[in-house]
Amino acid sequence: MEETMSRIVAKFGGTSVADLDRIRAVAARVKREYDAGHEIAVVVSAMAGVTNDLVDLTRAAHSMHDAREYDVVVSTGEQVTAGLLAICLQEQGIPARSWLGWQVPVRTSDAHAKARIEKIETEEMERRLSDGQVCVLAGFQGIGPDNRITTLGRGGSDTTAVALAAALNADRCDIYTDVDGVYTSDPRIVTRARKLDKITYEEMLEMASLGAKVLQTRSVELAMNHGVPVQVLSSFEDAIGSDLPGTLVVDEEDIVEQEIVSGVTYSRDEAKITLMRVADRPGVAAAIFGPLADANVNVDMIVQNVSEDGTRTDMTFTVTRGDLDRAIEILEARKDELGFTDLVPDADVVKVSVVGVGMRSHAGVAQRMFSSLAERGINIQVISTSEIKISVLIAEEFTELALRALHTVYGLDAA
């Protein structure tokens, strides 16, 4: 079938640009799309491992570093790959140039280290695309209202790619990575995970926010809001764009046979805090969670235990692991006011979730999860649910066992 000319944004993640050979392979792939007559803008991540090293360097320099300088440092990985890919494309006879976030510019909020893209001014880039130039944009970075470099949070190149696709009104946004699509669970842990041909924006959004790092949560949100067709595919397989059987992220009505559960995810980025024997009276929850919110500590799951005598109760909740020390400090400082006897922290926990839009119309989904975990002797510490997901907090040592058990019980195992 002959393809008409499309405008494509293609994003290549860290392992896809891990060394010069991989970058050359990316250039060859881009060349094939280019030779087929498409306009193509490429978004690149830093080489695998580089961003981690840069983060470590800023931490080693000072534990309480200035977030604006953190962004200056950690954004540099993408500059290297953007330049190298432009060189490799030129070497293959393709007119290409690199762009850093500020050069476009990709305008963001001022929340350094977790900035949000507000606007991408694509005029110049569009002119060059229609002149037949390939534009290579460094992902993960932008420029804030203070004219300083910002970064978008870990995994942020996905968001750069989707935002660019929306701004350029591209026909598709191809996310090339080291797996060939979105799976029913992390294929590195659940070997029987199945690749999904399609997944709804809504389910992908839940899966991403519940730990499936194949797409950054914000990128899915943007794709959903702007109707950007996103496709996740492997850069390690030798086929291009529309020939590849990756995973398409689509609207719900585009899915014919909907499973009840589409995916099982996990997040190790959790820590549990239990406050023992808090006063059981109105206003106590506000007194606990207010100061945490004021300090930007996000609280996720919460349970308040039944009080034995109607006067005191235990309160358990979760925060991200990185916020645990701060949360402890804030609560200990208010120990007298809150009246708890002990604060018991536990970082050896994991949140396991099952996600599926089919849950809306089926009963008993949660029961199956609970009994399947019980049969394996896995204790559920906290539960939280929404319309299309159920999450449980369990001991971290049971992560693999729980994922595999749930994958099987919901009929997701590959044949």
| Contacts to ligand ASP by CB under 6 A | 13-14, 45-46, 51, 77, 139-140, 154-158
Question: How many other CB atoms are there within 10 angstroms of residue 251's CB atom?
Answer: 13
Of Mg ion, ligand ADP, ligand ASP, none, which one does residue 173 interact with (CB within 5 to 8 Å by kind)? none
- In the complex with ligand ADP, the residue whose CB is nearer, 7 or 194, is 194
Q: Which partner in ligand ADP, ligand ASP, Mg ion, none is near 102 (CB below 5 to 8 A by kind)?
A: none
Kindly state whether residue 77 participates in binding Mg ion, applying the rule CB under 5 A. Answer: no
CA distance 295 to 225: 30
Backbone torsions φ then ψ of 380, nearest 5 degrees: -90, 125
Q: How many Cβ atoms sit within 10 Å of the Cβ of residue 292?
A: 19
Report the C-alpha gap between 235 and 318 in whole angstroms. 37
Contact 151, 71 (CB under 8 A): yes
182 binds, among Mg ion, ligand ASP, ligand ADP, none (CB under 5 to 8 A by kind): ligand ADP
Interaction residues for Mg ion, span 3-22 (CB under 5 A): 13
Residue 179 binds what, of ligand ASP, ligand ADP, Mg ion, none (CB under 5 to 8 Å, by partner type)? ligand ADP
Q: Which residues of 106-134 are buried (b: 16+ CB within 10 A; e: fewer)?
A: bbbeeebbbbbbeebebeebbebbeeebb
Q: Which residue has the tokens 């089919």?
A: 358
185 binds, among Mg ion, ligand ASP, ligand ADP, none (CB under 5 to 8 A by kind): ligand ADP
Regarding 144 and contact with Mg ion (CB under 5 A), the answer is no
Closest approach, Cβ 89 to ligand ASP, in A, equals 20
Which is closer to ligand ADP, CB of 17 or CB of 394?
17
Indicate whether 139 belongs to the interface with Mg ion (CB under 5 A).
no
From 133-141, 186-194, 339-347, 381-389, span contacting ligand ADP (CB under 6 A): 186-194
**Which helix (H) or strand (E) segment is 392 a member of?**
strand 389-395
Q: 185, 217, 381, 399: which one contacts ligand ADP (CB under 6 A)?
A: 185
Among 119, 188, 281, 335, binds ligand ADP (CB under 6 A): 188
Measured CA to CA in angstroms, residue 210 lies from 162, 214, 217, 237, 265 at distances of: 20, 11, 9, 28, 6
Asked if 33 touches ligand ADP (CB under 6 A), the answer is no
Q: Which of residues 8, 9, 10, 14 is near ligand ADP by CB under 6 A?
A: 14
Should residue 263 be labelled a site residue for Mg ion when binding is judged by CB under 5 A? Answer: no
| Contact string (CB under 6 A) for ligand ADP, positions 113-152, x = contact | ----------------------------------------
- Residue 7 CB-half CA count within 13 A: 20
CA torsion through residues 53, 55, 58, 64, sign: negative
Residue 223 contact among Mg ion, ligand ASP, ligand ADP, none, beta carbon within 5 to 8 Å by kind: none
The residue (of 48 and 330) whose beta carbon lies closer to ligand ASP is 48
From the list ligand ASP, Mg ion, ligand ADP, none, pick the one residue 156 interacts with, judged by a Cβ distance below 5 to 8 Å according to partner type: ligand ASP
- The residues that bridge with 342 in the sheet, in sequence order, are 276
Phi–psi pair at 373, nearest 5 degrees: -70, -40
Give the interface segment with Mg ion, choosing from 50-58, 122-130, 151-159, 313-321 (CB under 5 A): 151-159
Tell whether omega for the bond before 145 is within 30 degrees of 0, i.e. cis.
no
Is residue 233 part of the contact set for ligand ADP (CB under 6 A)?
no
SS3 300: strand
> In this structure, how many other beta carbons lie within 10 angstroms of the beta carbon of residue 37?
12
Give yes or no for a contact between 390 and 383, defined as CB atoms under 8 angstroms apart: yes
Q: Does 410 bind ligand ADP (CB under 6 A)?
A: no
**Binding residues for ligand ADP, per CB under 6 A?**
13-16, 45, 155, 177-179, 182-183, 185-188, 212-214, 263
